[in-house]
Amino acid sequence: MERVVPAESRSCQSIANAFSRLHGISLGWEGNMLHQSTGLEFNSKGYLVNFDAWSRDFAEILARENGVELTDCHWRIIDFLRDYYTEYGIAPEPRIIIKSLSKEISPNTTCTRRNLEGMFAGGGCKLACKIAGLPDCHCPPI
């Protein structure tokens, strides 16, 4: 009998499978939660529950799974998100990211929310927070 995986769990499962292949370990999959021994557990929205379980390898895999090739600009945003979360305990709103990193993200043009959304494909701000390993985000609609 084939086990049906809920639609919201599929992306997490594919991430788990890619992570397993990359590191040569078996993660096991149970609903929305990866096997406890790995420390990789996702909430119902698909965000990593344990902020400290994040790694750059995890970010690369998740980005690839979502059609994003991480550049230096992406890493500046990811590092900013993680640093901000570490300091304040919440994810920054896009306007804070843009204000803080505008010259670094897009030195030749004015950095806007749309530029930020474009860097992380269709997932925009939410995908950036997921890739950065934040447990949630504050991304109002454009």
- Catalytically annotated residues: 137
Cα separation, 27 vs 34, in Å, equals 6
Cα separation, 105 vs 98, in Å, equals 8
Q: Which residues pair with 48 in a beta bridge?
A: 42
Q: Is the dihedral of CA 141, 49, 42, 61 positive or negative?
A: positive
Cα separation, 34 vs 77, in Å, equals 26
Please, where are the H alpha helices in the chain? 7-23, 56-65, 72-88, 94-105, 113-119, 124-131
Which tokens hold the place of 19? 């992570």
